[in-house]
Structures are given as C-alpha cells and as structure tokens.
Structure 1
Amino acid sequence: MQATPLDTQGASEIRRAGVDLNGLMTVLGKHLYSTPVVALRELVQNAHDSLLRRRLEQADWQEAGRIEVHGDPVNGIVRIVDTGAGLTQQEIHDYLATVGVGYTRGLRQAGEDDDGLIGMFGLGFLSAFVLARRVTVRTTSYQQPGLGHCYVSSNAEQYTVSPMPPRAVGTEVVLELHGSYTHLAQEQTLRDILGRYCALLGEPIHIGHDARAINPEPPPWRPQAGVALHPLQAQRRALEFAAHFERSFEPIACMPLRAEGGSDAVGLLWVQDGATYGTSDNRNLSVFVRGMLLDDDARDLLPPWAGFIGGVIESSRLTPTASREDLQRDDIYSAVQHALGEALIDGLVDIARQQPEAWRRILARHNEALLGASLCDDRLFQLLLEHVRVPSSQGDIRASELPSRGAVHVILDSGGGFEEMLFRAMGVPVAHGNRYAVVPFLRRWTEGKGMRLVELGTEQGNRALFQTDTLPEAELAWLQTHLGDGEQLLPAHFSPAELPVVVVPDREAELKRRLEDDENDKRVSMAALRLARQFTARIVARAPSRLYLNLDNPAVQALLAAMRAGNPQAEAAARLLRSLKVIVSAQGRAQDGGAASSDLNRAFGDIAEALQQMLQPR
C-alpha cells in the first residue's frame, strides 16, 4: 500500500489497517461462543429467518414452513433442512461467505423489524466451523427455482460454489462433524439441545422424521385465535409450561409478565416449591429474544430479594451480544428489569387475593425470604406485615403476637441467654434479632403500630427491663464478694419477682472487645476496622456483664436481712444464690461450652457444700 505524506516533515501519514483473515476466522469461529452446541442454535436460527424472508418476499407462498434436523451418528453428520427462501449464487458470495454481512439485518433495517427475524450480526454461519471439519450447503432460491448451487468449505476462508440440479426451494446445510462432536449426531441429543433453545420459535422444528415438532405449543402468553380458557384451565396450563423450564423445583403458582412502559418483554414467572432461607438464591430466568433462547441464567434481571422465583420471558428489543449468549446492559435491559420487579409484586398480591391455598404454601416455604423481601418495597410490606412469621422464643409467630406490656422485645444475641430465660418465666415471647431481616422488619412494624421496640442486651433495652435501686456501699461490697464473678452488681426491681438474679451480657462491650482483638486485624479490612473502632471508642471500658439483683424477690430480701443481722448462714445462702446464678446464666453460653461446663461443675459443688454447711448441727 502506498503511503500518502501529509506534511513535508513526514510526521504523519494515513495507512489502511491490515486484516489477518486466518486469525480473525479463528477468533470468530472458535472463541465467540462459550459452548459448541450454540452452533446448532445459530444454524436453526438461519433456517427460521429464511422461512420468514420467503413469506416477506414471496407474497404468493402460503405453505406451512418446515425445519428438519437429521442426525447420522454412524457417519458423524448433522443436516439442517428448511423450506425457506434459499440463496442465489450472488447471495452465497454476498452473505454466506462474507463475515459480518447478513441478509436478515438488511431486512430489519429496511423496516421488517417486527416480523420475528432473529439474526443481527452476520456471524451465525461461522459457528458451523466450530463443529464441522467440512460444511456443505445445497440451496435453491425461490427467485431462481430452476437453478441449484452447492457451497463447500473446510475452514470458511476458502470455498467453492458449483452448480447442481435444482432441489425444492430452500436450503440444506450438511455438517461433517469433527471427531469430538460426533455425539451431536444422536437424534435424542439434537432433540434435547434444540428443544431447549428453540422452544418458543413460531416455525415448527422436527428432529429426523418425527411428525411431532419439538415446539408444538405456543407459550401461555401468546394469544391463540378462537381459544378461550377458563381461569382454572389457564392456571393449569401455565403451571405445566413452568414445570417444563423449572430445573429444580415444582412451581407453586404463576404470575404473568406483560409489556408495560418502556419494556416489551412478556412471559411467565413462578414461585418455586422449595424451602428457602433469607439468603437463598435459586433465581432462574430464561430469556428468549425473538423466540430463540439467548440466556437461561439471566437471574440478574430479577430483583435480588426474589431468590425463590423462576421465569421465562421473551422480547424483541433486548439487545444480545455478538455471541448471542448474553444481553447488553442498556436502557431496554433496565426497563425489563423494572418491569419484572413490578410484575412480581403485583403477582404476589394477586396470588394472596385469588389463590389462598397457593399463598399458604408460599408463606410456609419462603417465610424468611419474604421477611427480607417485605423491606424492599412498601407494597410488599403492606402485603406481608400480618402474614410472615418472626422467629422467637415461642417459635415462629406473627408479629402481632409479639407485643407485651406495650412493647415488642427482641434479643440481638444468638446464644439465647438471660433474655429468653427471663421472658420465658414471664410468658412473654422474645424475637430472635440475630435471624435474617428480623430487626429491621420489627422496627418498621412497631413504628407503624405506634409501639416500642426494646432491643434486649443494649443500654436502652436494659433500662426498659430493670428499674435500678441503691444499697449502702458496705452491703454492695459484701454482695459483690459473695455473688459476683467479675460482673457489675446492680440492685434493681424487675419481673418476675420469683427470679432472684439475672446476669446480663454487655453486648456493646462485647462488640468493642471483638473488634479490638488483634486477630480481627487479619480478618477485617483496615478501612472497615477503623470505622468500627470509631464507634466502639465511644464505649467506655466496663465489666463484660451486669448482675441484676432482684430486690422484689423474697429470697434476696431474706439474704439481705441475714447479712444485716450478722447471721452466720448468710454466706452459705449467698453461695446457693451464686450457684443458681451460674446455672441460669450458663444457658446463654453454649458457644463457650468448655467454660460453661467448668462453671456448672463448680456451681454444683458449691450447692453441695452450702447445703452441708447449712445442715450441720449447731
């Protein structure tokens, strides 16, 4: 190529970029697709578009289209035959043998975009060379029904085109498979692959000479002229369709997706009949673009809270990537994403109203996930606030069953501890705030009901439970010596009066200690650790727990009276009370099994010694 000087100094010149066709063909033919079986989809897509092209251009052709895929496992051959428009010799050169130029794209640009044409990039035919060591195309165009042409190539770079006797109008593509792909010639394998990719195509596709197409039924959202279904029949048909696509679970109930706003997507969503936890993510969504499966794991289109939802949708406006295995994240993608979220919320509301049995199953299977989902949208919260159950010391119960004494009580620790024991004695349920979404749900629920939420184990929560009082310093010192094990002893009044002592862990102090543990430096990023320590720096160093002594308890009153009177049995009584404290507080230390076991053994020993001391004859 001759360089063109741009200035007398020779600083710049214009050159035409070179193209390494061999390298380009290798990249496009062998690395464009994530799995070789996509090649079968691309070739069936070409056959499908050829049928639509013939209907568009040959107005007098009224016959039913047909696509056949034949497998010959003995010889390792797959044939794709269609009754579409066929190709002239010039079209073979212009479209079949030219990378990046497709006849379908030209039709769409000419205004035929809404007629179900799939192809966009002019790359699909290259996929044949992923599978085949040689590709033969025999074709007769409707424009020249008296002429036949045969294209043959082994690498898509060099090819021959020869005249041949005319065949019926249409095209036959013959793949002589590489040895590693001969298994694709099994007709059952072809049926499985194409039954997945081509399930929504409007043109019938037959495997071998099977009279029944692999795509016999239109999806439920496509209207059928003259067919009206009773609502129960429509539900049953939707569930049968969903079961065909749902890989892991039985569908419980279905919800339609309609084209709304900036989204043209239509389809079907369903709730899976499989138990989930709050963080379970079993989302699965198959996306069809113009009837052809593009992505069967498009879960990111569904809301993050919808971990129990499956679906199938189709769109003409979603834009595929060049490999047609993923979607471009553009405005249409965002519009479809929004439409799916709206359809799910509206669908759950309709199921709750119209399908009570299915709604009960959904609540039973996905209660925890729905608890979190309710926080993502006010409509979901209003739907679920009286239905979802909250884990508590009395089992899973509705939020309306939690209030007691004008408040809802929630324990933030995972170990149970004094709070569960205390409220069990009072017959009051305590919500388990360490479980998924419980605390934020209850905060919102109590705010709406005008109630208090008492978070047990925090300073605010303790003030709501314990009314502290005072004792003389000398008495406090004596009690600290005989009852304490490093706790901060606080005289108080609390319910029930039958409970003499309660040990309350200082959860805020525990947080401070954990974050300041040197080992956390290894597990927490320094930026996150600095932010956490800014919070814990406001927590002054204090005892790891508090020992509340119930001044309303008769045994405590008797102990105080014996201590003040100098009764020698006071120490033995205090030892018994201290042992009771250890036994009760050990309930909340399951995570520290060794220490709890040691303390319990010592407490039982102290009980025996105290009884012996008190029973000795005087």
Structure 2
Amino acid sequence: MTAEPLLKQTRVDLGGLMKVLGEHLYSSPNVAIRELVQNAHDSCVRRRLESPEPFEPRIEIRSDPNAVTLGFEDTGAGLTDDEIEQYLATIGSGYTRVLREQGHDGLIGMFGLGFLSAFVVSDHIEVWTCSMHQPDRAWSFSSRSGQSYLVRPAPPRPVGTLVTLHLRPRFEELARPAPVRALLERYCCLLDVPIHCGDGPPVNAEPPPWRVDDPERSPLRRRRDALAFARRFEPGFDPLCTIPVEPGEGSDLRGLLWIQDAATYGTSDNRNVSVFVRGMLISRDEQDLLPPWAGFCGAVLESEALAPTASRESLQEDERYEAAQASVREALIEGLRRLAHDEPAAWRTVLRRHNEALLGAALCDPRLFDLLCDELTLPTSQGDLPAQTILARAHGRLHVSQAERGGFEELLFRALKVPVVQGVRYGALPFCRAYAERRRGRLVLVGTSGGDSELFTPATPTDDERRRLQQWFGNDEVEVIASRFAPEHLPFVAVPDREAELKHRIESDEADKRIAGAVLGLARQFTGSLAKRPRLRVHVNLDCPVIPALLAASPARVEAALPLLRPLLGLLSEGDDERIMPVDEALRGYCSAVVALVGAAGQEDR
C-alpha cells in the first residue's frame, strides 16, 4: 500500500541564516554604516509622507571612542512596539517595501536586510524609538546575536529613532569621528536629508553639479565646480574636462563623465565609475556602464530606476542596466563632439593624451570615426603622423608593416622617403583599413604577397640569370626573385614572408608549449592551407646598375664583387632576419673584401 504524500513546512536554521546574512552578505563591514543611514533616511521620508505635521529631517551619527560605540539618530517616523516586531525584528520585512508598493518615490531600501549589517561590526545593539503615531510612548530594543531580542517601554523621547552599536574590538576604528565621516562622505553625499557627523556642515551639504540650477553661475564657474566634484571621485588622475549625462529615452540616468588627464596606451583600462541609486552609493566599480573603449574616462552616475542586488554593492544587469549603458555611450560620444567644437584647447589635450586609445574608439562607432579620423596620428617610420599626411606623402597609399621591429620596410621606405605605418601597434592596422575605405586611399600590407606586388614589379631574366642570382644571394631558406623597384640605387632588399613565418611558428614544437590546445588547433587549421615555401625572399633590383653589370661581368670580376655584395645584403636584411648572414659575419666579410680590393689595387699600381 502506497503511503500518502505529506506536505511539510521548510525549516530554517536561524543561527546559520543569521551568520550567512550578517557575515557574508556584504563584502565590507563598512557597509553597516551605509545601511543604517539608509534606514534613517527612509524613516524621514516615511514621516514626510504620512505625517501632516511639519518637522526638520535630520540624521546624526555619533562616534564615542571611550564607550567604543557608534550611534545613528534620526528625526524620522519612529516605530511602535508592533512595528518593531513586524519590521525591525523580522528578517526580509521592511516598511519601506510597503510604501514602495503604494507608489511612493524617494525610498532607498528594498529587501528588509539592512539592519542585519549591524551585527557584522557589533556584538550588542540597542535601539530607542518613538513613533509619530504614538508620540507619548517610547520603546527600547536590544539584541546580542540577532537571534533573540528584548523589547521594553522606554523613557519619553522625541519622535524618531536612535540606534547604538557596541562595536566589536576589531572594528574600534568606527568609534572615531574622522574615519566615519570619510565613509559617510563616500556613501551618502547625494542624499537629500542632512547628515551630520561631528563638527562642521553636513557631509552632504554640497549638491552635485547636475542638481544645481543657478542661472547666475557663469559657464566658467560651472566647469570649475564640475571638475572639483570629479576630483572627489578620481583618486588616480586629475580630470581634464567633464561631460554631463542627462536623462534620455529609456533611462533616467544623470551625472557627470570626465576624461582623465594622463597619457594612456590603447589597452589601458582606467574606467572609474561610481553609481548612486536614489542618492545612496551602490558601487564604485561599475566599469561596464562605460564603453570598453573608454578606458580613459571616469563617471559619477545617479539613477532612481537601476536595481541593486540584495547586498546593495552592485547592480542587476537587466534591461534598465542596458539602457543606462546606452545612455552613457551616447552622452560620451556627444560630449566628445561638443568638446571638439566648443573647447579646442581641451580637445587638443585629449587627443595628445589618449591618441592610441581613441584609435580603437574610432573603430567602434561611425560617428567617432568621422570625428576623429583626421585628427588622430598613426605610428610610422617617420614618427606619428595623421592618416591624411601619410596618404599625401605616399601618393594615395597607406603602407602598413606587420613587422614587430625594423626590417626591410624601414630600409626601403626610408630610401623612398615614404612613411610606413607600424601595423603591430594598437588599432593601427584596422584604423588604416577603415580610413582607406572611407577616404578612398589604397591599403598596402607590406610583407604579404598582395603588398609585395604593389612594391615590386616582376622582371623577366633568363633561366641562367635566375639560377646565378639564386646561387649568389640565396640558399635553401631564401628565395631570390628578380624584380624592378624604386629606388634604383638599392640593389636588393630582403623581405620576410609573414604568412610563411606564421606557418613555421604555429607548426613548431615550441607552439605546443605556449599556446592553448584549442586555439592552437584552430591556428593550425589555417596555416595548414598555406603552401610550404621559404620564409625569406630577396628581391634583386634589375633597375639598379649594379645587378645588370654583375650579370654581364666575367666570372673573375663576379668573384671579386660578391664578397662586397653579400655582406651588404646581410647588413641590409639584419633587422628582419639573420638567415642570410649574421651582422658580425657580414661586417667581417665586408672589411676583408675591402682589404683584398685595396691590396689588389696596390699590386696593380706597382
């Protein structure tokens, strides 16, 4: 006989749950300060919504080094004894959620978990509270573990709540006003309820630039104030200029972007993004709200709509997050455009500081490309030059080398007085490809079969001449090709076959040690389609008078000339490869040939 299924209630290990939520929900114990200020803020908002009586919203944080306590006092709505049990002492339950479900704005809390953070830094919590609904009755709440608590009537006090944390020994630092004020300035600087800590003005006395609507402020004053605000959130770099973020279609995001005044490389990623949700700092590390290409930017952003995770230390990456990303991207692109038009001096500084990073940025959006393509410079054999200058000097061509260091490209193009772009530098090759397409230039990839055909015109020597040239200047790993090319005073040039070199590297045993198996397999699929061929080609220039003269000379004169020409080829090709002749051997051979030539001339003179 089959037993009837039983419906049972899930049990909760309260002690274990309190340990997980209290000790492991938050990444930093400092979050306790943020959470308790948040509760105080929402209590003030509740009183403003539900009480017809005017009051002065205020939050006071008191550190007492002698008693090793940290107190949070507010003039908010307070709690009745029933509300203490229903909301304060019940995990996951909060009155803020009730108000939010009624459609009220301006509230921060969502999950009813914030009070638990107090148990991370304290082993004893005391609460004194008086509700606006029962202003003649006050209550005290105390708990040492969060698993049990004591509620009793308390002496009369003003409407509001005082929470006192008796700090654990390892968190005694929070009993000093200075570090607590620093944390409050970080987390709470955008809240609209005044927050006091020690002497001086409230920690949130200065509103952010985007909340200031003062027509009397000059543009210069606005720029200065925006830069000062950005510096508070940019510890690593001085902000160079700022860009406003305003609400747009699909996003309520507003705030401030800035460009860092520090030189960057293309792969530098110094994105620094702080996000406030309903006035409270949620994260100082939301880099992904900025585009990946904006590694030279920082931001402070504020939203009512973005949804925090339960720990309130990061954001849920939902459709609202994606809309915020789009809003930031559009603000940055439009801000760069306005900067170029309205602040040319600052724009020139941005280009100097972040040229390489902007090469990559230009490839990510057509509007950025149109804005930047004629302003940015490319690394070339003649220094950093704008693409339009390169086109002009190279007669409508963009020559791009993929060599990691100087080689035949440097030699050949220096002789031609034509700049060649260093294509291995960040963004250079794809930028040149895009520029050539949009500006109707011609892209020449030097060191590939297609690129070589642009530089070297095939010659038609006889079979015997071809054989002799190969014998004189080549070997098993070096193919000699009879060509015609400029300049005519250059007798030969050694050109590595980049595709053959790639095939050799990928198919070598060393590749197995350096490259992951799956990636290596894909690479070998590609190189397997490449025919095996010599990795170095020597183009011999039949337009150079030396080569026809050598081909027409007697064997004796050839024998006398080759000791001069072979070392010269070795010296000219050393930047790329030593397969022809190591440089020390080339120098020795050249010296020996000159000594022999001088000696022979001396004998003839006698």
TM-score of Structure 1 vs Structure 2, range by shorter chain:
over 0.9
Q: Select the residue among 247, 250, 258 that pairs with 2:246.
A: 258
CA-based RMSD: 1.8
d(CA) in 2 for partners of 1:72, 1:424: 74
Q: CA deviation at 1:228?
A: 3.9
Contact 1:572 1:613 in 2 (8 A): no
d(CA) in 1 for partners of 2:5, 2:581: 80
- For residues 331-480 of structure 1, the aligned pairs below 5 Å read 331-403=319-391, 404-480=394-470
d(CA) in 2 for partners of 1:297, 1:555: 65
TM-score, structure 1 as length reference: 0.94
Paired amino acid for 2:567:
S
Q: CA deviation at 1:602?
A: 4.2
* 1:521 lines up with 2:512 in the alignment: yes
Give CA-to-partner distance per residue, 1:516-572, whole Å, 9 cap, x none: 00121233233322322232223222111111111111222322222xxx2522212
Contact 1:484 1:578 in 2 (8 A): no
Paired amino acid for 1:47:
A
d(CA) in 2 for partners of 1:80, 1:281: 39
Q: Count residues in correspondence.
A: 601
Paired amino acid for 1:17:
T
Q: Kindly tell me: are residues 93 and 49 of structure 1, through their superposed partners in 2, closer, same or farther at Cα, counting changes over 3 Å? A: same
- 289-298 vs 163-172, which moves further: 163-172
2:483 match: 492
Q: CA deviation at 1:303?
A: 0.8
Give CA-to-partner distance per residue, 1:95-145, whole Å, 9 cap, x none: 111111101111111110x2x110101111111111111000011112222
Paired amino acid for 1:339:
S
Q: Kindly tell me: are residues 218 and 526 of structure 1, through their superposed partners in 2, closer, same or farther at Cα, counting changes over 3 Å? A: same
Q: Kindly tell me: are residues 54 and 501 of structure 1, through their superposed partners in 2, closer, same or farther at Cα, counting changes over 3 Å? A: same
Q: Select the residue among 308, 314, 320 that pairs with 2:296.
A: 308
Give CA-to-partner distance per residue, 1:469-500, whole Å, 9 cap, x none: 12222233333223334421111110011111
**Structure 2 unaligned spans of 5+:** none
* 1:98 lines up with 2:98 in the alignment: no
1:217 match: 206
* 1:189 lines up with 2:182 in the alignment: no
Q: Select the residue among 186, 192, 196 that pairs with 1:206.
A: 196
Contact 2:474 2:580 in 1 (8 A): no
The alignment partner of 1:587 has SS state of coil
1:240 match: 228
Contact 2:78 2:131 in 1 (8 A): yes
1:22 match: 15
Q: Kindly tell me: are residues 467 and 614 of structure 1, through their superposed partners in 2, closer, same or farther at Cα, counting changes over 3 Å? A: farther
Contact 1:573 1:610 in 2 (8 A): no
* 1:607 lines up with 2:597 in the alignment: no
Q: CA deviation at 1:610?
A: 4.8
TM-score, structure 2 as length reference: 0.96
Q: Select the residue among 135, 156, 174 that pairs with 2:146.
A: 156
Contact 1:85 1:141 in 2 (8 A): yes
1:280 match: 268
Q: Kindly tell me: are residues 548 and 25 of structure 1, through their superposed partners in 2, closer, same or farther at Cα, counting changes over 3 Å? A: same
The alignment partner of 1:402 has SS state of helix
1:45 match: 38
d(CA) in 2 for partners of 1:228, 1:11: 79
Contact 2:570 2:580 in 1 (8 A): no
The alignment partner of 1:68 has SS state of strand
The alignment partner of 2:103 has SS state of helix
Q: Kindly tell me: are residues 196 and 607 of structure 1, through their superposed partners in 2, closer, same or farther at Cα, counting changes over 3 Å? A: farther
2:537 match: 546
Contact 2:123 2:167 in 1 (8 A): yes
The alignment partner of 1:547 has SS state of strand
1:558 match: 549
The alignment partner of 1:540 has SS state of coil
d(CA) in 2 for partners of 1:286, 1:496: 58
- 280-289 vs 464-473, which moves further: 464-473
Identity within the alignment, %: 50
**Structure 1 unaligned spans of 5+:** 1-7
Q: CA deviation at 1:59?
A: 2.0
The alignment partner of 1:455 has SS state of strand
Paired amino acid for 1:248:
G
